[in-house]
Structures are given as structure tokens and as C-alpha cells.
């Protein structure tokens, strides 16, 4: 089975590129983010490959980072998510952004992807919350602030109308700078950060 390809970029169209690997042209489907930053024709590129084999089709999906390929496989395992939708999600969100959205249960961030409605976004968040790499708040032995304080601060910010993913990122930043901040300081600092 094909796991990676390195070759020369011969061309691209729609959601695919043509990759020449030692004289053999492979048609590889890629994300819109890859196409937007596509190298020049003739450039040598390496891609992590996820093959998709069915009775009536043999398709190759290519990713610059192996983490994208892993997310693609996870997304394909969600009910109602096919290859086209999985590629669209990874074209809109980086692996880190997708992990943060799932950890923060922020279906709205995922629903920004063209072609994904709130129901599919909710299903992605629900089905992948225990499977995805978990960027939850870590509790350092040196830190005076526990994960419970951070979760409480996150809940307050969400209740005030901020997107979970944005609030999550703001709290992560504040915690990195002020490990001993209590819930009130976390909330005040996050409000300042989010209002900028």
C-alpha cells in the first residue's frame, strides 16, 4: 500500500495534483489550503498519502503533514463525512485549529467550512472528542491554578457569548503567562485579550 510519495509536480486542477514519481504520474487529491499555496510546476514535493480503495474506485489523498492525514482518517470515520467533506474541513482548519475546536466543543468553528451544516459539525465534535489528540488544559505541579479553574473560566466566557475555541486559546495564553492566576483574574485577563 502507498504511504508516501515524492516526485515532481506536473500540474493541478480542481482538488487534485499530478505528481510524477520516476516516470509514473499519480493523481493525488489534496486540500484547498495546499492548492492555495501550491508550489511552482516542476517543484519536487513529498506528501504523506492515504489510499482509499473500494470496488469501483482507487483514490489517493495527499497531505503535507502526517497529522493532516491522521485527521483525515478520523474525519472519514464520522457518520455522514466522506472524503470531500474531510478534505474541506482540513482545507479550512489546520490540525491544531481542528483539535482546539473539538477540545472546546466549538461546532461553530467547524461549521464555517463550506458544505458543512450544524448537524454534521456537531457530529464531528461529538464523535471525535475522545479520539482526537487532546489539547485540554494541563495542570503543572508548579502551577497554582488547576484545570477546574480554567474550565470554570471557560464556561463563564462561553456564557458571555464568546466562541469556545477563542476563549480556550485566550485562557491558554493567559495561563502560560500567569500560572498562579485565580478564576477571577483569568476571566478579567481573557476579557481584555478577547476585546482586542
Parse the chain into domains and list their residue ranges: 4-63, 67-128, 147-194
The reported pLDDT for the residue numbered 172 is: 79
Among 96, 54, 109, smallest CA distance to 76 is for 54
Angle of helix 118-128 relative to helix 95-103, nearest 10 degrees, comes to: 90
Task: Report d(CA 196, CA 194) in Å as an integer.
Answer: 6
**Fold adopted by 4-63:** OB fold (Dihydrolipoamide Acetyltransferase, E2P) (2.40.50)
In total, the chain counts a number of residues equal to 196
The reported pLDDT for the residue numbered 147 is: 64
- Judged by phi (left if over 0) then psi (alpha if -120 to 50, else beta), residue 194 lies in alpha
Please give the class, per CATH, of domain 67-128: mainly alpha
Write down the architecture of domain 147-194 according to CATH: Orthogonal Bundle (1.10)
Task: Report d(CA 78, CA 84) in Å as an integer.
Answer: 13
The reported pLDDT for the residue numbered 146 is: 59
- At which residue does the C-alpha cell 516516470 appear? 23
pLDDT tens over the chain, length 196 residues: 788 999 999 999 889 999 999 999 999 999 999 999 888 999 999 999 999 888 888 999 999 988 899 999 999 999 889 999 999 999 999 988 898 888 888 889 999 998 888 999 999 998 997 775 434 444 343 344 456 777 788 888 888 888 777 787 788 788 778 777 888 888 888 898 888 7
The reported pLDDT for the residue numbered 157 is: 85
> In the structure grid, which three cell numbers stand for residue 138, read together?
494541563
Task: Report d(CA 166, CA 26) in Å as an integer.
Answer: 39
Q: 33: Cβ–Cβ under 8 A, 6 or more apart, which residues?
A: 90, 91, 92, 94
Asked if residue 120 lies in contact with residue 188, where contact means CB atoms within 8 angstroms, the answer is no
> In the structure grid, which three cell numbers stand for residue 96, read together?
491544531
For the whole model, what pTM was predicted?
Answer: 0.67
- What sections of the chain are H helices per DSSP? 32-36, 66-76, 83-92, 95-103, 107-111, 118-128, 147-159, 164-177, 183-194
Phi, psi at 137, each rounded to 5°: -65, 130
Matching CATH topology for 4-63 and 67-128? no
The reported pLDDT for the residue numbered 154 is: 81
Amino acid at each position: 500500500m502507498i504511504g508516501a510519495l515524492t516526485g515532481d509536480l506536473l500540474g493541478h486542477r480542481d482538488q487534485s495534483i499530478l505528481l510524477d514519481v520516476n516516470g509514473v504520474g499519480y493523481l493525488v487529491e489534496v486540500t484547498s489550503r495546499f492548492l492555495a499555496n501550491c508550489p511552482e510546476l516542476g517543484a519536487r514535493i513529498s506528501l504523506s498519502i492515504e489510499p482509499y480503495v473500494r470496488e469501483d474506485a482507487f483514490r489517493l489523498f495527499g497531505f503535507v503533514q502526517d497529522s493532516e492525514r491522521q485527521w483525515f482518517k478520523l474525519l472519514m470515520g464520522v457518520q455522514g463525512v466522506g472524503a470531500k467533506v474531510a478534505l474541506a474541513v482540513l482545507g479550512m482548519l489546520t490540525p491544531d485549529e481542528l483539535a482546539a475546536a473539538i477540545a472546546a466543543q466549538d461546532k461553530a468553528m467547524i461549521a464555517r467550512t463550506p458544505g458543512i451544516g450544524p448537524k454534521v459539525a456537531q457530529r464531528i465534535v461529538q464523535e471525535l472528542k475522545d479520539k482526537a489528540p487532546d489539547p485540554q488544559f494541563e495542570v503543572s505541579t508548579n502551577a497554582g491554578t488547576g484545570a477546574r479553574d480554567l474550565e470554570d473560566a471557560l464556561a463563564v466566557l462561553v456564557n458571555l457569548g464568546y466562541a469556545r475555541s477563542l476563549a480556550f486559546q485566550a485562557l491558554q495564553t493567559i495561563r502560560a503567562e500567569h500560572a498562579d492566576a485565580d478564576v477571577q483574574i483569568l476571566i478579567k485577563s481573557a476579557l481584555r485579550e478577547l476585546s482586542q
